[in-house]
Amino acid sequence: MAPTNASQARSDALVVFGATGDLASKMIYPALYQMTKKGVLDVPVVGIAGSKWTLRDLQKRATDSIESAGLAVDRTVLERLLSKLSYVGGNYNDPATFEALKKALGGTVRPAHYLAIPPSLFPTVIRGLGAAGLANNARVIVEKPFGRDLASARELNAIARSVFPEEAIFRIDHYLGKEAIMNILYFRFANSFLEPVWNRNFVSHVQLTLSEDFGVKGRGLFYESAGCLRDVVQNHLFQIVALLAMEPPAYQGYEAVHVEKANVFHAMRPLVRDDVVRGQYNGYRDEPGVAKDSDVETFCALRLFIDSWRWEGVPWYLRSGKCLAESAVEILVAFKPPPQRLFDDSRPASGLANYVRFRLQPNSAIALAARVKRAGQEFVGDQRELYLYNEHRGEETPYERLLRDAMIGKGTLFSGEDAIDAAWAVVDPVLADHRPTEIYEKGSWGPKSADALIAPYGEWHNPVVSKGAK
């Protein structure tokens, strides 16, 4: 393994593998522009890809990307970013490509290598960096998905660890960079009133919904290799669960957060086929790149248990899907009703008593639901929400925050090897052992079996966005 002091110093260059690709165009260049505007990015940026481009081609792609992002472009800032760019074209399997990269990096000694490339190329590039001596004192930033099952994740971790030390590996999940996700961690541990009730004694169940009202958008070939469980649930939703379920970190530091999140994944009960509902929207098989007899799920709902002292017996219901009724992300932490039914309406027909609701998308908000008495002599009331709106204009984009943190060695918002391994162990049993997908109609909330899954605890909470509700 290469010697390193990468965890102790700021990166003095950023290398973007896949610089001509879709991810770089849509997300990375706008983030780099914002970082330049704020004075955060003041190091060379080397783009590298297989395309036979010139530097002028790369600068044009970056400019088009930034202008298409809807930013108010300051030409001075843009020119400052473009002046930092250089380009290396070549095959990742060719050692000469990495020698050309070394030459382009010049006198820099602590580069950060960002792999915005297909996962199948991760091992090739990581080994190439090691063989060329480009891993010394460096960091590597790896896009999700990190593996496609437990075995492949372990294999990829072994390859990465053979070249980089663990503290220099940043496994990126852009979802963790969202302001609303960070607010979950803050809200939980900055408010003392939550702790006494945030456990199995008071919480009935927890619901997480990540819904999209659009389909695969021409990415059928990719989705055929992934599916909803791998693409969204095992990473995005599991990371949210970990923040909701974790114990208080021992101190304010990313190592302490990683330990507690990993403990949650280790405490998750491995899934069995009865815990999972898989669906496929009507028309998915007509998408380009999709097999005519495809059984890949575009919807997944599951029942999860965390076998810990705090959460023993509390079911966590997770669902995500494409072509659903709304595009939204919401969490509902439902509390048990009062132990004695003193008032006739204290146990609402919906099954939901008091709750905490987190809205993560399309806007961020937190709501606390409680019952209040109506005016009059009768003891009858309504459930009302105390609504906290947390949207801030001009907040950092996820990629802006994550790239900045990786370049300074701050790992709070990244996943550790232990956590990824443990998360895959939870879903690994049902990647192959599952029921066939059920067809559901576009614009619905998925297959009926998902309703049956949560029925013992009532109904799914369906986010309402387009109708103007909070």
Residues noted as catalytic: 236
Q: How far is CA 361 from CA 82, 176, 251, in A?
A: 32, 13, 29
Tokens of 418: 């232990």
3-state secondary structure 5-66: CHHHCCCCEEEEECCCCHHHHHHHHHHHHHHHHCCCCCCCEEEEECCCCCHHHHHHHHHHHH
CB 4 within 8 A of CB 137: yes
Map residue 323 onto helix, strand or coil.
coil
Nearest to 379 by CA among 346, 338, 336, 350: 346
CB 160 within 8 A of CB 142: yes
Residue 337 half-sphere exposure, CB side, CA atoms within 13 Å? 17
Angle at 409 between CA 404 and CA 410, to 5 degrees: 75
Map residue 333 onto helix, strand or coil.
strand
Residues paired with 28 in a beta bridge: none
Q: Are strands 45-49 and 169-172 parallel, antiparallel or unpaired?
A: unpaired
CB 151 within 8 A of CB 445: no
Map residue 241 onto helix, strand or coil.
helix
Dmax over CA atoms of the chain, in Å, equals 84
Residues in the chain: 470
